[in-house]
Amino acid sequence: MKVVFVNRFFFPDTSATSQILSDLAFHLAADCEVHVVTSRLRYDVPDDPLPARENVRGVAVVRVWTSRFGRSSLVGRTIDYATFYVSALWRVLRLASRGDIVVALTDPPLISVPIAWAARAKRAVLINWLHDIFPEIATELDFSRWPAWVGRALAWMRDRSLDTARCNVVLGERMREFLTARGIDGSRLSVIQNWASGTDIRPLSPQDNPLRREWGIGSEFVVGYSGNMGRAHELTTVLEAARLLSDTRDIRFVLVGGGKQRTALEAIASENGLANITFQPYQPRERLRETLTLPDCHIVSLKPALEGLVVPSKVYGCLAAGRPVIFLGSDDGEIGRLIAASPGFGICVHPEDSSGLVSVIQRLRSDAALTASMGQTARRLFESRYDQPAAFARWRAVLARAGTWVPGAGPADSRVEL
């Protein structure tokens, strides 16, 4: 079986889709032919181009040429996307053959459209791996600068590319519901959540965590946030909770990562003299265990309007670390439903309810037995559902079904029972 993945970023890039794709590609390369069509760029180091071709852990990596205007302007970003569309389309047309499986991710947005053309032309099997739903997510975040008819046209093209796929892998039930409401055939939709490595990320007591010492954190109760501080996440509530708790000396907030909101959040913290907040940059992946076990509890957030369009997959690393989760978001969202269905590991707080967030933090700080019990429940849930081996098995099931399907035949049921 030959599998060709298409995504703008791949190892050694450390962006979220790159890491999750790299995990799966390296796993599959042990017993099948795996190719990755990607760019020569790194998400956070665009001026450090990668080699055009190399073999990494058994994966044949082809890095196509793209422009390098970066994320600073919409026009430059659009040109970067367009050049990747053209280069990736050409490469897939040369690389794929009848019956091969082509898996298109969602970076850049709408890459499924040109890759669907290539798969159809080469009689290959198309699988779309949807990490977010575009253009709707751009509209909700007020990024859209086009007339309404343009958004509708882009969504129509996206839907047609999903209709032609053998399978569309989504990250949660809310995503599946959204696409089903759009008219996408449910037999072409499979839910496979993202994952974390239970081997790399394991519970670690605060006194044994060297990162606490390096960052000058003693016995304080640490409230953590790790990952992208983008516009999809409600983080001003976290800073307001920190302001309300600024006189409580044994509670500290540690925010690790980067993104569009980080500069503004740091400015708010500075203007309000919030000495109980520490900002740290993204940490190397090999230190992920220390990063995720440094907090006593984790905050995960998502604006309710984005439910069904994206899933905050950082939650799986928090579960692996054996820490309680406070979810700032809708109780009917993907994580809110998980908290309701698997009680004991997390607490849902409505966005903008800073007083409610303070109450939850104080409760966990004052009840060490409750915090420990919630952390143990989180780890058990992770081991039963979200560890790498379980996710890889689901992916193998989807690929096995796709590998026995004849391109041009009608859709067979591709859903994975979880």
Structure tokens at 62: 């082809």
Q: What is the C-alpha to C-alpha distance for residues 81 and 70, in angstroms, rounded to an integer?
A: 10
Domain boundaries, the chain: 2-195+387-403, 206-385
Half-sphere exposure of 56 (CA within 13 A, CB side): 21
Strands (E), 302-358: 325-328, 346-349
User: Phi and psi dihedrals of 339, rounded to 5?
Assistant: -65, -40
Q: What is the pLDDT of residue 145?
A: 65
DSSP element (H, E) containing 384: helix 368-385
Structure tokens at 53: 């071709």
pLDDT tens track for 84-121: 999 999 999 999 999 999 999 999 999 999 999 999 99
Q: What is the C-alpha to C-alpha distance for residues 26 and 21, in angstroms, rounded to an integer?
A: 9
State the pTM of this model.
0.93
Assign a CATH topology to domain 206-385: Rossmann fold (3.40.50)
DSSP letters spanning 237-306: HHHHHHHHTTT-TTEEEEEEEESTTHHHHHHHHHHTT-TTEEEEPPPPGGGHHHHHHSSSEEEEE--GGG
Could you confirm whether domain 2-195+387-403 is CATH 3.40.50.300?
A: no
pLDDT tens track for 319-351: 999 999 999 999 999 999 999 999 999 999 999
Q: What does the pLDDT average to over 391-418?
A: 68
Which residues, 6 or more positions from 369, have their beta carbon under 8 angstroms from its beta carbon?
Answer: none
pLDDT exceeds cutoff 60 at 414: no
pLDDT tens track for 270-302: 999 999 999 999 898 899 999 999 999 999 999
Which residues, 6 or more positions from 226, have their beta carbon under 8 angstroms from its beta carbon?
Answer: 255, 256, 257, 291, 292, 295, 298, 314, 317, 318
Measure Cα distances from 159 to 45, 134, 313 in Å: 33, 10, 24
Q: What does the pLDDT average to over 237-244?
A: 97
pLDDT exceeds cutoff 90 at 403: no
Q: What is the C-alpha to C-alpha distance for residues 414 and 187, in angstroms, rounded to an integer?
A: 6
Q: What is the pLDDT of residue 407?
A: 45
pLDDT band at 260 (very low <50, low <70, confident <90, very high): confident
Q: What is the pLDDT of residue 79?
A: 92
pLDDT tens track for 141-185: 865 567 888 899 999 999 999 999 999 999 999 999 999 999 999
Sort 188 into a burial class: Cβ within 10 Å, 0-12 / 13-18 / 19+.
buried
pLDDT band at 416 (very low <50, low <70, confident <90, very high): very low
Q: What is the C-alpha to C-alpha distance for residues 197 and 177, in angstroms, rounded to an integer?
A: 28
**Which residue in 304, 311, 315, 306 sits closest to 345, CA to CA?**
315
Pick from 8-12, 396-400, 409-413: least confident: 409-413
pLDDT tens track for 42-79: 877 767 789 999 999 999 999 999 988 877 777 888 89
pLDDT tens track for 199-220: 999 999 988 999 999 999 999 9
Ordered alpha helix ranges (H), 29-107: 74-95
DSSP letters spanning 105-135: -SSSTTTHHHHHHHHHHHTPEEEEEESB-TT
Q: What is the pLDDT of residue 74?
A: 75
Q: What does the pLDDT average to over 376-392?
A: 97
257 DSSP β-pair partners: 227
User: Could you give the 3-state DSSP secondary structure of residue 47?
Assistant: coil
Q: What is the C-alpha to C-alpha distance for residues 284 and 14, in angstroms, rounded to an integer?
A: 8
Q: Do domains 2-195+387-403 and 206-385 have the same CATH topology?
A: yes
Q: How are beta strands 59-64 and 53-56 bridged, if at all? A: antiparallel
User: Phi and psi dihedrals of 383, rounded to 5?
Assistant: -65, -30
Q: What is the C-alpha to C-alpha distance for residues 402 and 406, in angstroms, rounded to an integer?
A: 8
